[in-house]
């Protein structure tokens, strides 16, 4: 089923779509502030538990954070946040997201049920509100019924995991993540309810791309905040501390450039011109989960460099210093494949270089390791800058 919003869908809570770019509202920007805190919580959680179990736990928590934001983003793409009911739901979701983020530190301990309950209430409550507001016969209802079905299934896993302990909790929550992350790939297919087509999701592409870009800014901003906080707490600003600050700052600038300096404007054009913007929009959300995870992991590496520039690189430190940028480059490469239809050779070279650096990093200090990884990112950014120019799709 396919339809055009301007012709077939009318409702007082929906955004008016007249072919122009739908702007991001102040309500949405306000909502995103909670996620600055959530990203900070995740990076701190990983920093304090650089073990295999700690990584698995943070990955699960990250997907919960991302999915909560992602589904809200699709909600505000359709529904106007400046109308009082939608604004109210957005603020309730914001409060629940704040509770969820605050519980991240104890999510795999005593606050598991609080984390799961706040998250599930946000996901299920928002979708139930949509169905209640639209009424039974609205063309959007079929898709949202299927979505609600999957979110209720996921909520059962979230709550069960909150009541369980240890690896049982991790397993149940991983199943919940899969329900919410994978089900859109299959059109939220459910017995008796059918499945949705991405052409049913007649999204406003420019708005969706801009929302993803703003979340990247949130993640990069948290990285800068962490660097600044570490510098402020340093007892003396000697050359090594200042050099560590510069190394982490340069790496952050490189990540910004690889995203905003070479492809972000072309991404808006790609999704806007697509004959199936729902599909491209779904791809954007899938790949940004990887890309932003790389930023979070890189922020942890930056914290290590700032806190202990003189220390030798332990295996866990070397892995996080390399894997953060590697994950980021992999996400960026997939993103640019979607935008340009071509593989970014520079990113493949960057991944190979960073992987090859791991043995070298283990024989040096954190300060040197921080500079080496940042230099690789800067080099890839310069390479991409010579190939592409923003705003020239397909260049």
CA distance to 27, 59, 186, 188, 353, per residue, from 214 (Å):
13, 21, 27, 27, 29
CB count within 10 Å of CB 315 equals: 11
Task: Report the chain's C-alpha Rg in angstroms.
Answer: 21
Cβ distance 94 to 117 under 8 Å?
Answer: no
The rounded distance, in Å, linking the Cα atoms of 313 and 237 is: 22
Predicted pLDDT of residue 151:
96
Q: pLDDT tens, 342-351? A: 888 899 999 9
Average pLDDT, the chain: 85
Cβ distance 338 to 271 under 8 Å?
Answer: no
Return the SS3 of 365.
Answer: strand
Predicted pLDDT of residue 187:
76
Cα torsion angle, 387, 390, 392, 394, sign = positive
Q: Alpha helix (H) ranges present in 238-365? A: 239-256, 264-273, 277-307, 315-340, 345-361
**DSSP state letter for 22:** P
**DSSP state letter for 15:** P
Q: pLDDT tens, 308-333? A: 888 888 999 999 999 999 999 999 99
Q: pLDDT tens, 58-80? A: 999 999 999 999 999 888 888 88
Confidence of residue 272 (pLDDT cuts 50, 70, 90): low
The rounded distance, in Å, linking the Cα atoms of 158 and 64 is: 10
Q: pLDDT tens, 116-148? A: 999 999 999 999 998 888 877 777 778 888 899
Out of 4-18, 136-150, 228-242, which region has the weakest mean confidence (pLDDT)? 4-18
The rounded distance, in Å, linking the Cα atoms of 29 and 11 is: 24
pTM equals 0.87
The rounded distance, in Å, linking the Cα atoms of 212 and 164 is: 34
Q: Alpha helix (H) ranges present in 183-238? A: 205-233
Which neighbouring-strand residues pair with 14?
79
């Amino acid at each position: 089923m396919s339809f055009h919003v301007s012709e077939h869908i009318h409702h007082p809570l929906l955004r008016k779509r007249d072919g122009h770019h739908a702007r991001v509202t102040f309500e949405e920007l306000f909502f995103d502030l909670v996620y600055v805190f959530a990203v900070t919580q995740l990076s701190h959680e990983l920093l304090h538990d650089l073990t295999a179990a700690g990584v698995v736990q943070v990955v699960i928590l990250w997907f919960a954070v991302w999915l909560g934001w992602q589904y809200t983003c699709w909600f505000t793409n359709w529904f106007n946040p400046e109308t009082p009911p939608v604004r109210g739901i957005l603020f309730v979701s914001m409060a629940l997201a704040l509770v969820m983020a605050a519980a991240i530190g104890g999510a795999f301990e005593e606050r598991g049920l609080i984390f799961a309950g706040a998250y599930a209430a946000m996901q299920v409550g928002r979708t139930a509100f949509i169905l209640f507001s639209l009424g039974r016969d609205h063309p959007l209802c079929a898709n949202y019924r299927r979505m609600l079905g999957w979110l209720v299934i996921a909520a059962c896993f979230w709550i069960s995991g909150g009541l369980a302990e240890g690896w049982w909790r991790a397993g149940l929550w991983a199943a919940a993540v899969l329900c919410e992350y994978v089900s859109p790939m299959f059109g939220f297919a459910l017995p008796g309810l059918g499945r949705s087509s991405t052409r049913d999701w007649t999204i406003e592409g420019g708005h969706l791309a801009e929302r993803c870009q703003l979340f990247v800014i949130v993640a990069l901003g948290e990285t800068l905040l962490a660097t600044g906080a570490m510098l402020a707490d340093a007892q003396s600003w000697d050359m090594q501390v200042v050099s560590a600050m510069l190394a982490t700052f340069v790496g952050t600038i490189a990540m910004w450039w690889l995203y905003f300096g070479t492809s972000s404007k072309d991404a808006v054009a790609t999704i806007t011109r697509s004959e199936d913007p729902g599909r491209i929009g779904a791809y954007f959300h899938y790949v940004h989960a990887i890309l932003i995870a790389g930023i979070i992991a890189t922020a942890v590496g930056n914290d290590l460099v700032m806190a202990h520039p003189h220390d030798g690189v332990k295996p866990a430190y070397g892995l996080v210093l390399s894997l953060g940028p590697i994950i980021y480059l992999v996400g960026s490469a997939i993103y640019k494949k979607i935008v340009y239809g071509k593989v970014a050779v520079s990113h493949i070279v960057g991944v190979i270089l960073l992987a090859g650096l791991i043995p070298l990093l283990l024989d040096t200090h954190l300060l040197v390791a921080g500079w080496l990884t940042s230099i690789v990112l800067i080099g890839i950014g310069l390479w991409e800058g010579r190939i592409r120019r923003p705003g020239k799709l397909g260049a």
